[in-house]
Amino acid sequence: MKRPPMLMHVKIRGERRGFGLWLPIFLLLPLALAMFIILSPLILIAILVFWPSGWRKRAPLILRAAFEVFCSMRGIKVDVQSDHHCIYISAV
Amino acid sequence: MNESKKRILEMLAQNKISTDEAYRLLSVLETEGSAAEDTPKAGTAARAKPKYLRVCIMPGSEHEHGGKGDRVNVRVPMSLIRSGMKFTSLLPPEARDKVTGALREKGIDFDMRNLKPEDLDELLEALSDLEVDVAGSDGETVKVFVE
């Protein structure tokens, strides 16, 4: 399993002003875990509701694939520059 | 290679060469053949696995001087493409049929059910040879490559 991205660098520059942000994703991971624990009763109810429709098998696979996609985002870079605007997003 | 073997066998049939000579010639051909097969394999192993798919769009010189045109530089990890494509196997059969139908309507005869993980790896490895370089009439260039 790949390591998830630790930091995300977002830089947006407009005509007059801009800003840059270093988002600490590693700090969000414990928060996401806490949210998952808090929401676990609701998740359990959802699993029970969707049990007959066959989604019980697919849901864990989807969650795993989604986490894999999140982990694979490490190294992504999007840099779009025009004359007066600039958008830069990268995950490290 | 088959041509040479055929010629040796023809020469043997015409009694131009002896059985021993034919055997020797055939074994030499086989040795050369296996050596030739081994060389590209070694080359493939030595080739580094592609890590990123890059898309670069650069404005033409006219745009640069005129102060117009957008510059785009996108780097997508290959692992992200691989993980994203794995999602296709998680699609419900009804949704998959809809996608296949929509693709067929656009003239693309591609059935997503036939896409297997081993094919996916092969496809992504083959991407290492990909290089698209398009130059527009206004000087704009689009480059898609793998690094």
**B21 contact partners, CB below 8 Å, separation of at least 6:** none
User: For B52, which of A62, A73, A75 is closest by C-beta distance?
Assistant: A75
Is residue B14 predicted with pLDDT exceeding 80? no
Minimal CA separation from B127 to chain A, in Å: 18
Alpha-carbon Rg for chain B in angstroms: 26
Residue B101 and residue B113: Cα distance in Å, rounded? 12
Look up the ipTM and state it: 0.75
Note the pLDDT of residue B93.
Answer: 78
pLDDT digits (tens, 9 = 90+) for B44-83: 545 667 889 999 998 876 545 455 678 999 999 988 888 8
Is residue B78 classed exposed, middle or buried when 0-12, 13-18 and 19+ CB atoms within 10 A define those classes? buried
Predicted confidence band at B42 (pLDDT cuts at 50, 70, 90)? very low
Is residue B41 predicted with pLDDT exceeding 70? no
Note the pLDDT of residue B70.
Answer: 85
Note the pLDDT of residue B36.
Answer: 55
Is residue B116 predicted with pLDDT exceeding 80? no
User: For A83, which of B52, B67, B77 is closest by C-beta distance?
Assistant: B67
Neighbours of A74 (CB within 10 A): 19
Residue A76 and residue A84: Cα distance in Å, rounded? 24
Minimal CA separation from A36 to chain B, in Å: 22
Which residues in chain B are contacts of A61 at CB distance < 8 A? 90
Residue A86 and residue B71: Cα distance in Å, rounded? 9
Start-to-end CA span in chain A (Å): 16
Minimal CA separation from B21 to chain A, in Å: 58
Q: Do B79 and A2 touch (CB under 8 A)?
A: yes
Note the pLDDT of residue A22.
Answer: 92
If you average pLDDT over every residue of chain B, what do you get?
A: 77
Note the pLDDT of residue A90.
Answer: 93
Cα B62 versus chain centre, distance: 35
Note the pLDDT of residue B54.
Answer: 92
Predicted confidence band at B139 (pLDDT cuts at 50, 70, 90)? confident
- List helix spans (H) across B14-77: 19-46, 61-66
Q: What are the two backbone dihedrals, phi and then psi, of residue B111, each rounded to the nearest 5 degrees? A: -100, 120
Is residue B59 classed exposed, middle or buried when 0-12, 13-18 and 19+ CB atoms within 10 A define those classes? buried
How is residue B4 written in tokens? 């040479």
pLDDT digits (tens, 9 = 90+) for B98-110: 888 898 898 888 7
Only one residue has tokens 């270093």, namely: A22
Q: Digits of tens for pLDDT over chain A (92 positions)?
A: 678 899 999 999 888 888 899 989 888 888 888 998 999 999 888 878 877 777 767 777 888 888 888 889 999 999 999 888 899 999 98
Q: Do B67 and A82 touch (CB under 8 A)?
A: no
Please indicate, yes or no, whether the overall pTM of this predicted structure exceeds 0.95.
no
Note the pLDDT of residue B33.
Answer: 62
How is residue A22 written in tokens? 């270093």
Only one residue has tokens 């830069």, namely: A88
pLDDT digits (tens, 9 = 90+) for B21-34: 777 777 777 766 65
